[in-house]
C-alpha cells in the first residue's frame, strides 16, 4: 500500500521535475571557443523583461548590465570577473530591434528580432581564453540586470525648491530591478576547443 502511495506521489511530481529540467536547460549557458575567446550562448534565454519591452516600445533605449564570472567550482570565488553593457532600442516603424555593446569595443547590429537581438548581445560577451584554466574544470556565472537609471537628458531638472519637493513627494515606490543569474558548468577549455 505504502509502495503504491509513494509511486503515486513520484508520478505526481514527475511533471514538476520535468518542468524544472526544461527550465534549467532553457537557462543554461552553452559557451563556445572562437579564436582566443570564449563566447556565451543560450538559445532559450530571454533577456528582455516585460518592463524593458514596454520601455522600448515607448521609444526609449534600455541598457542591460552583465557580469560574467569564471569560477573554479560551483558557487566558488570568481577567478575572473568581466562587466559589459548592452543597449537595446526599438524601431517604431520597422518593428525591429537594434543592439549595441558599449565596452570593451563598440559593436552594433540592427533590424533584428527579439531572439536575435538577445543572442547577439549574449554572444558579444566574451572571455579571453587566456584567463581560463587550460586543463581544469570551470563554472560560468552570468548575472544581468536592466539598468533602470534614466539618462541625464531624460531626467527632470527642477531647480526651484517647490519643484524639487514635488519631484520627491510624487515618486511612487518602485520595486528594485531583480538581478537574474545563470550558472553553468563544469566546462573544460580542451573540451570546448574540441567541440568547435
Partner 1 sequence: MKRIRTRLILAFLAATILPLVVTVWIMTSLLERSLGFATTEQLDRLSTSLQDTGRHYYQQARELLRKEAAAGAIEHQTYAFAEAAQWPSEVRDFLESSEPERFAIGGEGGSRLDYFVRKGEDVWVYTRSLDGVRMEELSGEYRSARKLVQESQERDLRRGFTTTLIVLVAAVWLVSLVWLIYLANRVSRPVQQLTAGLSELAAGHLDTRIDAEGADEIGRAVAAFNRSASELEQSRGRLVYLTQIASWQALARKMAHELKNSLTPIRLTVEEILARLPESERPFMEQAARIVVSEVESLERKVRAFSEFSSEPPLHLGKIDVNSVIEERVSFLKPGHFDVGYATELAADLPAARADEDRVKGILTNLLENGAQATGPGGKILARSCVQEGKIRVEIHDSGPGLSEEARRTLFEPTITFKKHGMGLGLSIARKDALMCGGDLCLIDGVLGGAGFQLTLPVAGDE
- Min dist. Cβ of residue 21 to partner 1 (A): 35
Residues 6+ apart with CB under 8 A from 22: none
Q: Does 169 bind partner 1 (CB under 8 A)?
A: yes
Q: How many residues bind partner 1 (CB under 8 A)?
A: 22
The C-alpha cell that represents 42 in the structure block: 543560450
Q: Does 176 bind partner 1 (CB under 8 A)?
A: no
x-marked contacts with partner 1 along 135-154 as a string, rule CB under 8 A: -------------------x
- Which lies closer to partner 1 via its Cβ, residue 75 or residue 169? 169
Q: Does 50 bind partner 1 (CB under 8 A)?
A: no
DSSP-assigned states of every residue in 134-161:
SSS-EEEEEEEEEE-PPPTTTS----SH
What sign results for the dihedral spanned by CA atoms 33, 35, 36, 40? negative
- Min dist. Cβ of residue 116 to partner 1 (A): 11
Query: Cα-flanking dihedrals φ and ψ of residue 195, to 5°?
Result: -60, -25
Residues 6+ apart with CB under 8 A from 149: none
Of the candidates 137, 57, 154, the one whose C-alpha atom is nearest the C-alpha of residue 97 is: 57
Q: Does 165 bind partner 1 (CB under 8 A)?
A: yes
Q: Does 93 bind partner 1 (CB under 8 A)?
A: yes
Q: Of 9-17, 39-47, 57-65, 76-84, which part binds partner 1 (CB under 8 A)?
A: 57-65
- 11, 16, 152, 174: residue in contact with partner 1 (rule CB under 8 A): 174
Separation of alpha carbons 26 and 66, rounded Å = 18
- List residues near partner 1 by CB under 8 A: 55, 58-60, 92-95, 111, 154, 156, 161-162, 165-172, 174
Amino acid at each position: 500500500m505504502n509502495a503504491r502511495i509513494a509511486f503515486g506521489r513520484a508520478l505526481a511530481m514527475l511533471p514538476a521535475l520535468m518542468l524544472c529540467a526544461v527550465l534549467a536547460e532553457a537557462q543554461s549557458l552553452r559557451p563556445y571557443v572562437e579564436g582566443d575567446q570564449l563566447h556565451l550562448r543560450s538559445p532559450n534565454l530571454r533577456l528582455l523583461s516585460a518592463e524593458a519591452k514596454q520601455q522600448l516600445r515607448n521609444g526609449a533605449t534600455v541598457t542591460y548590465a552583465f557580469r560574467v564570472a569564471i569560477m573554479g567550482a560551483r558557487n566558488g570565488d570568481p577567478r575572473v570577473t568581466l562587466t559589459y553593457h548592452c543597449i537595446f532600442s526599438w524601431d517604431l516603424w520597422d518593428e525591429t530591434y537594434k543592439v549595441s555593446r558599449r565596452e570593451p569595443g563598440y559593436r552594433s547590429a540592427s533590424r533584428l528580432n527579439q531572439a536575435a537581438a538577445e543572442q547577439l548581445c549574449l554572444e558579444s560577451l566574451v572571455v579571453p581564453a587566456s584567463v581560463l584554466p587550460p586543463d581544469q574544470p570551470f563554472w560560468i556565472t552570468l548575472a544581468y540586470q536592466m539598468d533602470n537609471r534614466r539618462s541625464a537628458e531624460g531626467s527632470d531638472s527642477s531647480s526651484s525648491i517647490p519643484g524639487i519637493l514635488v519631484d520627491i513627494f510624487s515618486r511612487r515606490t518602485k520595486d528594485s530591478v531583480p538581478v537574474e543569474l545563470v550558472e553553468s558548468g563544469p566546462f573544460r577549455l580542451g573540451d570546448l576547443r574540441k567541440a568547435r
